[in-house]
Amino acid sequence: MDKLLSVSSSPHQRQAHSVSSIMRDVIIALIPALLVGTYLFGMRALLLTVVSVASCVAFEAIWQHFTHQPLTIKDLSAVVTGILIAFNLPATAPIYVPIVGAFVAIILAKQCFGGIGQNFINPALAARAFLLAAYPQAMTSFEIPEHFIGTVAPVSDVVGAATAVDALAGATPLVALKTQNVLAMPTMLDAFVGNIGGCLGEVSALAILLGGLYLIYKKVITWHIPVCYLGTMFVMTLLFGGVGVQASFTSLFLGGAMLGAFFMATDYTTNPMTLKGQIIFAVCAGIIASVIRLFGGYPEGVSYSILIMNLVVPIIDKFVKPVRFGGGKA
């Protein structure tokens, strides 16, 4: 009877998932985008990814060594952060850029707040935001993939003051979206498969979608945040973008929208605990991203939208609470 009535500490129900198994699935899900990026941009893309991953792992190991903490690099979270940082870089970025980004992500955004599970913002996005401020030219100098086979709109059709190089830049489609220049935007097929310029891990929406569907299949993430985030961006662009249904849908394949929706906004630590809270999080992030894209001075708003909502998560969790077990409305 004593054993029957004893209560152990939580958790009382365990799942098969662990930190390392979740991170392993995320790495697997990122492989299609990495392969496409390497194919499109050459070995430079792979080199940047390797440097970024190695830097993240090294910084985490160094921090834990000097702070006398258990070494946790085997949980693969630093590897995932390194891949995501690399995916947010142009293939032309200098080698030191991912190293600086790794320091910001691992040391400043993660370890300074207690390590995995304690960070209040997504480390990879924090690194991207810092790198955009520190190295704006290096972070926005895109190139057309080596195997690009599509067509590029004339310079005059893109932006009046643009140069020939700017016409080939990955940011050009988003500038065209902002200026309501539908003719300068890539076709839906080109944007979907990655036949455009851009960051090495963002160009192929198809590869990212395959990885996202894998994570949903493995129950690492649910569909709610990606669908609500992208759906909100589509509705906002359709209502206020002035570019029509097809271009509004195509805009979801441009920039970091797909990568952010499936791999950034779904970060366990930095999104709300409840399903209702996650939907609120995703919808608000989609609105912010669209407002920045359509009306802001910067053509891309995905990173900042998720970072801003990361800061709002405690407020969402405070007001969106599940009913206590056995309780109910008064």
Q: What percent of the chain has pLDDT over 70?
A: 83
Above 70 in pLDDT, residue 14? no
Where are the domains positioned within the chain? 19-139, 172-194+221-318
The residue ranking higher by pLDDT, 179 or 286, is: 286
Q: What confidence score (pLDDT) does residue 143 get?
A: 61
Over the stretch 108-156, which tens digit does the pLDDT of each residue have?
Answer: 999 998 888 888 899 999 999 999 999 988 888 766 555 554 433 333 3
Of 12-16, 206-210, 252-256, give the lowest mean pLDDT range. Answer: 12-16
**Mean pLDDT, residues 303-329:** 84
| Terminal alpha carbon distance of the chain | 35
* Burial of 72: CB neighbours in 10 Å, binned 0-12, 13-18, 19+: middle
- Which carries the bigger pLDDT value, residue 9 or residue 72? 72
What tens digit of pLDDT does each residue of 21-69 get?
999 999 999 999 999 999 988 899 999 999 999 999 999 999 999 999 9
